[in-house]
């Protein structure tokens, strides 16, 4: 954080952060701490007892020959989902911001996907992607077997990337739009006076000024695509076919929430958290340097 | 001006909202003993469970059961665990088959027999079909929870399609299925046999009716040190059979990802044979193509095999520790209520589930329940569950981390059918990974013995 | 600003329209499903054009889910979470960006980490906290022997208890404890030119006055975006409301929707009445959409008066 702090007070900053810090401690750190302790034990789900096992759970995670494949898949998923969701959102936001006629309608409709509850979205995408009865089924009429995510792992991965991004496009869109609107119109107008065309102004004025928002979304998108993607996997593929969409977080969800292996899930959670934190750190260290806050 | 108007409207809405809240709080006067049941069913089935609760509440004035759907089986178990550990648990919780073992080893429940005896109910425990009760009983056959929504897998066949190839009876063996399927294929039918990768109907039931071990130690009933054996049984041949059927084109994979599940593919008339739960019977009645003639039969076996009883599926009701005497009295009353023949009949009428007691089944038969066209064929589910004396391999499956194991097998089947692995490789990998899960489970419960 | 760019305008419309199509296509299917009868919705493939059973399904969904009180509960929860987030996150970010104090980096990162572990993994201990919010503090006090001290002085047991189960507070508070808002404000506050702060100080404004008079008005669009997202986020929460509310009078609309959603058929299905579930999904989606319309008026240009 490069900003020079400008106000000085002995107590005020602490008073300002106190409410959120209290909430975060009570509802996140305390329970999370309790859950992560399980990573070093074998915990009986109904609370009948637990035995301390040191790093055995981690040894089990890393000793699984298929674990690294799931790490690779998670990284691939996060990278492609983030790129897709942010790229599309940026395009839509920049063009909506031109405020041509009808932009209010565009803006309204583009926010919708975020408001759709999970079961409804799941059903809709099932009809779109189903290989025999869906909208994409026509591909199989062109060439039988061309589209079959129930057997083809890459296609299954594609479906979850698209479904996941669909929702996050609107998430990103709304923040990017807000970021664009916070850019002083005078700056853009000055650009126009100098003879810069629309696209040129986007590139030279709006995009650079959008960097802080963009960085915010990049970090959030990457983090969430690692951590928040189990729901869509569960609805769409269940981690299949043959583990092709078995993301790290889905395995955590499956082992811990469904399979009641609390200790295994806790150990995997720690691994995932370390990975995401490292990634976040890299982003702050190397990418934020290039962000111009003013 | 506009601003003030808007504020006025907001204030009115807030006021209305506040009144609504006060209203709901004040209406909560009570005199009956209340107790909770958390269930794991949703949709239409969740509603039907609530209907059962309503019937109980209307049948007497002493207790009031509050039934809350947790949306899914896993959420019901997970939330009950969270609540139990915080000492806010419901009195009764519905637990699905794969969650049974964790609860059995937990000591967090009141055994069924004890609850009923302490509250003065005389229950004839032998009245429960052994094929159902043994799934939820100790290895000595003492029932620990109350069988509730129970089903078994059946073979669904399209009579019209069979008529076209000159057959009138359902196939009894997998050899018959192959003959029929090939004829259908030759007659231009796209999908003679529909399959998926759900282990319950394809792996677990297959082992039971052929009296083959899924795992050592009597499918896990005799100890936590059991190991999976599915790559050493005739199941290997069966997977090869299905794989060949798929390659030769007389079996088609029908899952959510392809656009239609087994039931949907069968109801639409697209697929002519398949097997899945009897609980789906009512759905097929309601959604099958108008005029389609179809029926259910017992699952086929390999020729020359003596048929054994199939396994129960579904969930049972567990009574949790740490509640008051009155709540236990209420729970006992409710559990006695749902075991009454008329309750069982009601439950089987509004859902596809089967009665769990002999008297319930007999009463329904006597009343001609199974003669009605809508329910005809469902009695075969009982016939399938009672096809033989229940033996050590057909009581059920008692394996720790069973959900993970099911998933490993499903993953292996997917790999096999998409030609990533041979049948032997795939099953060997599933067994190896499942055994790791079993060892982990055994270590977690080190020092505990199975009841 | 008057510019003639007919080709680019056409391209703009094409891009935005394809965005709209992509956004609407899945929703169209949801809508179509909600207009079909049970047999139609289960046909393979499902029809792509609406049928005539929409009002029947809506009526059925409404009566089955008993949505009236649930929508109100959802509204209370979502508004609570939105206000909580928008306010608390602003305060925290303000302290982090504009003050120099010892733990500010720790606080920022500490809050950030909350994004990294989903509730599903920490359900059991989180529930324990909701059952007694003061249990962590009790444990801490006991750890430093204050409990014993208390017992020695007063002769009573020190037992702190505050149960949040079945209450609006319980629905709202845990959902407020996350990082998104703080991070967003921080990003925006960092773009405030230092000269602006300096000149405010010159005019004798203290930090709170500066925040109220300068910073918050400037943050209007970002706040609107955050509020919109947080409202919808809270509205669509499912697992947490399910867990903390067992008393039906506190149930939320999305919880009711999940309960209407047919089970997967692995061990026996029940009627797959997706038509009713989708009608309910549309009903449940309406309030967030109304909010989006309502919030749109805050999506306006900052700083310089806009031209028409």
Q: What is the mean pLDDT of residues C270-299?
A: 84
pLDDT at C268 over 60: no
The whole-angstrom separation of Cα B185 and Cα B349 is: 36
Q: Is there a contact between A236 and B259 if contact means CB atoms under 8 Å apart? A: no
* Closest by CA position to C260, among listed B277, B44, B418: B44
Chain B nearest CA to A29, separation (Å): 17
Which of C44, C98, C296 lies closest to A6 in CB terms?
C98
Do residues B170 and B227 lie in contact, with contact meaning Cβ atoms separated by under 8 Å? no
Q: How many Cβ atoms from other residues are within 10 Å of residue C45's Cβ? A: 15
The whole-angstrom separation of Cα A88 and Cα A86 is: 6
Q: What is the pLDDT of residue A4?
A: 58
Q: What is the mean pLDDT of residues A142-160?
A: 89
pLDDT at B60 over 90: yes
* Closest by CA position to A186, among listed A203, A205, A200, A173: A205
Residue contacts between B and C (CB atoms, under 8 Å): 146
Per domain, the residue ranges of chain B are 33-151+312-385, 153-310+400-444
CA max distance for chain A: 74
Q: Is there a contact between B79 and C243 if contact means CB atoms under 8 Å apart? A: yes
Q: Would you place residue A97 in the very low, low, confident or very high pLDDT band (cuts 50, 70, 90)?
A: confident
Q: Would you place residue B4 in the very low, low, confident or very high pLDDT band (cuts 50, 70, 90)?
A: very low
Interface residue C267 vs chain B (CB under 8 A): yes
- What would the pLDDT profile of B395-447 be if each residue is shown by its tens digit? 999 999 999 999 999 999 999 999 999 999 999 999 999 999 999 999 999 98
User: Which residue carries 């019901």 as its tokens?
Assistant: B76
pLDDT at B167 over 80: yes
Q: What is the mean pLDDT of residues A81-92?
A: 96
Q: What percent of chain C has pLDDT over 70?
A: 93
Q: What is the pLDDT of residue A5?
A: 57
Residue B50 contacts by C-beta under 8 Å, 6 or more apart in sequence? B67, B69
Residue A103 contacts by C-beta under 8 Å, 6 or more apart in sequence? A96, A97, C16
Q: Would you place residue C63 in the very low, low, confident or very high pLDDT band (cuts 50, 70, 90)?
A: confident
Pick the residue with more confidence: B30 or B347?
B347
Q: Is there a contact between B414 and A255 if contact means CB atoms under 8 Å apart? A: no
Q: What is the pLDDT of residue C103?
A: 87
Q: Would you place residue B24 in the very low, low, confident or very high pLDDT band (cuts 50, 70, 90)?
A: very low
Query: Given 3-state DSSP classes, what are the helix, strand and coil percentages for chain B, each rounded to the nearest 5?
Result: 50, 15, 35
β-strand pairing of B153-158 with B294-297: antiparallel
Q: Would you place residue B44 in the very low, low, confident or very high pLDDT band (cuts 50, 70, 90)?
A: confident
The whole-angstrom separation of Cα B282 and Cα C272 is: 11
Supply B125's token pair.
């425990």
Per CB-CB distance under 8 Å, the chain C contacts of B276 are 265
Q: In what order do the strands lie in the sheet with B271-277?
A: B251-253, B191-195, B271-277, B153-158, B294-297
Determine the residue of chain B that is closest to C265 in CA distance.
B280
Q: Which of A80-94, A198-212, B190-204, C31-45 has the lowest mean pLDDT?
A: C31-45
Average pLDDT along chain A: 89
Q: Would you place residue A143 in the very low, low, confident or very high pLDDT band (cuts 50, 70, 90)?
A: confident
* Closest by CA position to C182, among listed C101, C131, C109, C130: C109
- What would the pLDDT profile of C109-146 be if each residue is shown by its tens digit? 999 889 888 887 888 888 888 888 888 888 888 888 77
Q: What is the pLDDT of residue A162?
A: 94
The whole-angstrom separation of Cα B420 and Cα B410 is: 14
> Which segments of chain C does DSSP mark as H helices, in order?
6-34, 38-41, 54-65, 67-98, 104-112, 123-131, 135-143, 146-154, 168-176, 180-189, 194-202, 207-210, 216-218, 220-235, 239-244, 253-260, 274-295
pLDDT at B287 over 90: no
Q: What is the mean pLDDT of residues A207-212?
A: 89
In chain B, positions 118-147, which contact chain C (CB-CB < 8 Å)?
none
Q: Would you place residue C264 in the very low, low, confident or very high pLDDT band (cuts 50, 70, 90)?
A: low
Which of B46, B66, B82 lies closest to C124 in CB terms?
B82
Residue C111 contacts by C-beta under 8 Å, 6 or more apart in sequence? A20, A21, A24, C92, C179, C182, C183
Which conformational region is residue B259 in: left (phi greater than 0), alpha (psi within -120 to 50 degrees), or beta? left
The whole-angstrom separation of Cα B262 and Cα B354 is: 20
- What would the pLDDT profile of C162-193 be if each residue is shown by its tens digit? 888 888 998 998 888 778 899 999 988 988 88
Q: DSSP letters along A252-274, please?
A: HIIIIIIT--HHHHHHHHHHHHH
CA max distance for chain C: 84
- Class of B153-310+400-444 in CATH: alpha beta
Q: How many Cβ atoms from other residues are within 10 Å of residue B445's Cβ? A: 21
The whole-angstrom separation of Cα B393 and Cα B216 is: 10
Q: What is the pLDDT of residue B30?
A: 56
CATH of C12-262+270-298, one of 2.102.10.10, 3.30.930.10, 1.10.3720.10, 3.20.20.120: 1.10.3720.10
Per CB-CB distance under 8 Å, the chain B contacts of A42 are 440, 443-444, 446
pLDDT at A120 over 90: no
Q: What is the mean pLDDT of residues B226-235?
A: 96
User: Which residue carries 């709080």 as its tokens?
Assistant: B25
Per CB-CB distance under 8 Å, the chain C contacts of A124 are 25-27, 29-30, 33
Q: Is there a contact between B404 and A254 if contact means CB atoms under 8 Å apart? A: yes
Of the residues A9, A24, A94, A164, the best mutation for testing chain C's interface (the one with the most C CB atoms within 10 Å of its CB) is A24
Per domain, the residue ranges of chain A are 56-290
- What would the pLDDT profile of B62-111 be if each residue is shown by its tens digit? 999 999 988 889 889 999 999 999 899 999 999 998 889 999 999 899 99
Q: Would you place residue C218 in the very low, low, confident or very high pLDDT band (cuts 50, 70, 90)?
A: confident
Chain C nearest CA to A184, separation (Å): 6
The whole-angstrom separation of Cα A238 and Cα B169 is: 37
- What would the pLDDT profile of C241-260 be if each residue is shown by its tens digit? 988 887 878 889 988 888 88
pLDDT at C302 over 60: no
β-strand pairing of B33-39 with B92-96: parallel
Q: Is there a contact between C42 and B267 if contact means CB atoms under 8 Å apart? A: yes
pLDDT at C304 over 70: no
pLDDT at C45 over 70: yes
Q: Which of A274-278, B77-81, C33-37, C257-261 has the lowest mean pLDDT?
A: C257-261
Detail the DSSP E strand segments found in chain A.
41-43, 50-52
pLDDT at B354 over 90: yes
How many Cα neighbours within 13 Å face the side chain of A218?
17
- What would the pLDDT profile of B135-145 be if each residue is shown by its tens digit? 999 999 999 99
Which of B407, B414, B441 lies closest to A254 in CB terms?
B407
DSSP H/E element including B251: strand B251-253
- What would the pLDDT profile of A233-254 be if each residue is shown by its tens digit? 988 888 889 999 999 999 999 9
Q: Is there a contact between B85 and C128 if contact means CB atoms under 8 Å apart? A: yes
Q: What is the pLDDT of residue C123?
A: 82
Interface partners of chain B (CB pairs < 8 Å, 3 or more) are A, C
Which of C69, C238, C268 lies closest to B279 in CB terms?
C268
Residue B353 contacts by C-beta under 8 Å, 6 or more apart in sequence? B149, B150, B151, B278, B279, B314, B347, C268
Provide the whole-model pTM.
0.90
Q: What is the pLDDT of residue C272?
A: 75
Q: What is the pLDDT of residue C300?
A: 64
Q: What is the mean pLDDT of residues B313-342?
A: 95
- DSSP symbol at A195: T
The reply to whether CATH 2.40.50.100 applies to domain B33-151+312-385 is no
Interface residue A224 vs chain B (CB under 8 A): no
Highest mean pLDDT among A105-109, A289-293, B29-33, B247-251: B247-251
- What is the b/e burial string over C155-166, where b = at least 16 CB atoms within 10 angstroms of the residue's CB? eeeeeeeeebbb
CA distances from A201 to A188, A196, B100, B175, B313 (A): 7, 6, 64, 73, 64
* Closest by CA position to A83, among listed A169, A17, A156, A209: A169
| Phi, psi angle pair for C61, to nearest 5° | -60, -45
The whole-angstrom separation of Cα B221 and Cα A222 is: 46
CATH topology of domain A56-290: MetI-like fold (1.10.3720)
Q: Is there a contact between A132 and B260 if contact means CB atoms under 8 Å apart? A: yes
Pick the residue with more confidence: A31 or B256?
A31
Which of A152, A257, A260 lies closest to B102 in CB terms?
A260
Q: What is the pLDDT of residue B415?
A: 95
Interface residue C159 vs chain B (CB under 8 A): no
DSSP H/E element including B316: strand B313-320
Supply C1's token pair.
């600003």
pLDDT at A20 over 70: yes
Average pLDDT along chain B: 91
Per CB-CB distance under 8 Å, the chain A contacts of B411 are 239-243
Which of A9, A28, A166 lies closest to C114 in CB terms?
A28
Interface list for chain B against chain A, based on CB atoms closer than 8 Å: 74, 77-78, 81, 84-85, 99, 102-103, 105-108, 197, 253, 255-260, 401, 403-404, 407, 410-412, 414-415, 417-418, 420, 436-437, 440-441, 443-446, 448
- What is the CA B242 to chain-centroid distance, rounded? 24
Q: What is the pLDDT of residue B109?
A: 96
- What is the CA C283 to chain-centroid distance, rounded? 18
């Amino acid at each position: 954080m490069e900003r020079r702090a400008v106000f000085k007070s002995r107590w005020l900053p602490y008073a300002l952060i106190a409410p959120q810090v209290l909430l975060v401690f009570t509802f996140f750190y305390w329970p999370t701490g309790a859950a992560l302790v399980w990573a070093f034990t074998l915990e009986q789900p109904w609370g009948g007892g637990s035995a301390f096992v040191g790093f055995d759970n981690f040894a089990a995670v890393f000793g699984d020959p298929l674990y690294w494949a799931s790490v690779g898949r998670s990284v691939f998923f996060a990278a492609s989902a983030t790129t897709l969701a942010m790229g599309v959102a940026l395009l839509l936001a920049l063009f909506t911001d031109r405020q041509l006629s009808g932009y209010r309608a565009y803006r309204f409709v583009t926010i919708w996907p975020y408001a759709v509850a999970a079961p409804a979205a799941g059903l809709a995408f099932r009809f779109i992607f189903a290989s025999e009865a869906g909208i994409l089924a026509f591909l199989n009429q062109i060439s039988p077997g061309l589209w079959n995510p129930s057997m083809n792992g890459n296609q299954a991965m594609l479906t979850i990337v698209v479904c996941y991004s669909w929702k996050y496009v609107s998430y990103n869109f709304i923040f990017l739009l807000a970021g664009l609107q916070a850019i002083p119109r005078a700056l853009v107008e000055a650009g126009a006076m100098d003879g810069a065309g629309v696209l040129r102004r986007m590139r030279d004025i709006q995009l650079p000024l959008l960097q802080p928002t963009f960085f915010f979304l990049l970090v959030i998108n990457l983090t969430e695509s690692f951590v928040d993607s189990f729901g869509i996997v569960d609805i769409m593929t269940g981690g299949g076919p043959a583990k092709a969409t078995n993301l790290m977080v889905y395995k955590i969800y499956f082992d811990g929430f469904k399979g009641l292996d609390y200790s295994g899930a806790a150990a995997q959670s720690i691994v995932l958290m370390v990975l995401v934190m490292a990634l976040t750190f890299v982003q702050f260290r190397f990418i934020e340097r290039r962000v111009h806050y003013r | 001006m506009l601003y003030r108007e808007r504020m006025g409207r907001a204030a009115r809405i807030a006021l209305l909202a506040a009144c609504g809240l006060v209203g709901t709080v004040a209406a909560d006067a009570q005199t009956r003993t209340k107790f909770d049941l958390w269930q794991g069913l949703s949709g239409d089935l969740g509603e039907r469970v609530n209907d059962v609760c309503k019937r109980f509440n209307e049948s007497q004035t002493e207790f009031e059961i509050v039934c809350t759907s947790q949306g899914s089986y896993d959420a019901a178990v997970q939330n009950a665990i969270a609540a139990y550990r915080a000492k806010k648990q419901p009195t009764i919780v519905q637990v699905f088959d794969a969650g049974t073992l964790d609860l059995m080893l937990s000591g967090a429940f009141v055994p069924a027999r004890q609850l009923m005896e302490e509250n003065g109910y005389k229950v004839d425990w032998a009245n429960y079909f052994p094929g159902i009760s043994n799934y939820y009983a100790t290895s000595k056959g003492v029932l620990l929870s109350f069988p509730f929504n129970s089903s078994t897998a059946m073979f669904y066949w399209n009579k019209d399609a069979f008529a076209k190839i000159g057959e009138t009876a359902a196939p009894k063996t997998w050899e018959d299925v192959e003959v029929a399927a090939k004829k259908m294929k030759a007659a231009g039918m796209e999908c003679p046999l529909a399959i998926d990768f759900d282990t319950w109907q394809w792996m677990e039931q297959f082992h039971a009716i052929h009296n083959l071990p899924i795992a050592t130690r009597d499918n896990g009933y005799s100890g936590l040190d059991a190991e999976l054996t599915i790559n050493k049984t005739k199941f290997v041949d069966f997977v090869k059979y299905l794989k060949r059927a798929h390659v030769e084109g007389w079996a088609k994979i029908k899952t959510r990802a392809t656009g239609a599940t087994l039931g949907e593919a069968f109801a639409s008339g697209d697929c002519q044979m398949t097997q899945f739960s009897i609980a789906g019977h009512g759905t097929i009645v309601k959604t099958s193509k108008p005029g389609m003639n179809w029926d259910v039969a017992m699952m086929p076996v390999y020729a020359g095999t003596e048929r054994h009883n199939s396994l129960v599926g579904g969930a049972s009701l567990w009574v949790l520790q740490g509640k008051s005497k009155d709540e236990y009295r209420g729970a006992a009353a409710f559990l006695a209520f749902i075991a009454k023949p008329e309750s069982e009949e009601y439950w089987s009428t509004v859902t596809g589930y089967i009665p769990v007691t002999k008297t319930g089944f007999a009463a329904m038969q006597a009343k001609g329940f199974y003669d009605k066209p809508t329910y005809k064929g469902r009695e075969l589910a009982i016939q399938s569950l009672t096809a033989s004396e229940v033996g050590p391999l057909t009581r059920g499956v008692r394996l720790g981390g069973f959900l993970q194991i099911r998933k490993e097998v499903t993953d292996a089947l997917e790999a096999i059918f998409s030609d990533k692995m041979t049948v032997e490789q795939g099953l060997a990998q599933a067994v190896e990974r499942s055994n790791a899960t079993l060892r982990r489970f055994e270590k977690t419960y080190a020092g505990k013995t199975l009841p | 600003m008057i510019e003639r760019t007919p080709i680019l305008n056409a391209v703009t419309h094409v891009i935005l329209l394809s965005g709209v199509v992509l956004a609407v296509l899945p929703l169209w299917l949801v809508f179509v499903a909600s207009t079909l009868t049970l047999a139609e919705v289960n046909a393979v493939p499902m029809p792509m054009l609406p049928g005539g059973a929409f009002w029947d399904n809506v009526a059925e969904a409404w009566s089955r889910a008993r949505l009236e009180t649930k929508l109100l509960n959802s509204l209370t929860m979502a508004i609570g979470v939105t206000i909580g987030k928008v306010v608390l996150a602003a305060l925290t970010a303000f302290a982090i960006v504009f003050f120099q104090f010892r733990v500010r980096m720790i606080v920022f990162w500490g809050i950030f980490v909350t994004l990294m572990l989903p509730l599903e993994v920490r359900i059991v201990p989180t529930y324990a906290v909701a059952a007694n919010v003061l249990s962590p503090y009790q444990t801490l006090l006991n750890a430093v022997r204050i409990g014993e001290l208390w017992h020695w002085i007063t002769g009573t047991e020190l037992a702190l208890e505050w149960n949040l189960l079945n209450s609006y507070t319980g629905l709202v508070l845990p959902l407020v404890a996350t990082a998104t808002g703080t991070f967003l404000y921080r990003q925006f506050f960092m773009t405030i030119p230092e000269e602006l702060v300096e000149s405010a100080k010159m005019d004798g404004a203290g930090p709170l006055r500066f925040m109220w008079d300068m910073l918050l008005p400037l943050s209007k669009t970002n706040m609107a975006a955050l509020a919109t997202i947080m409202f919808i986020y809270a509205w669509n929460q499912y697992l947490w409301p399910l867990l903390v509310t067992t008393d039906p009078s506190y149930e939320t609309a999305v919880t009711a929707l999940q309960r209407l959603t047919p089970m997967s058929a692995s061990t026996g299905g029940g009627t797959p009445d997706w038509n009713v579930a989708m009608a309910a999904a549309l009903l449940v989606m309406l309030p967030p959409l109304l909010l989006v319309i309502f919030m749109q008026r805050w999506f306006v240009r900052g700083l310089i008066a806009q031209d028409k």
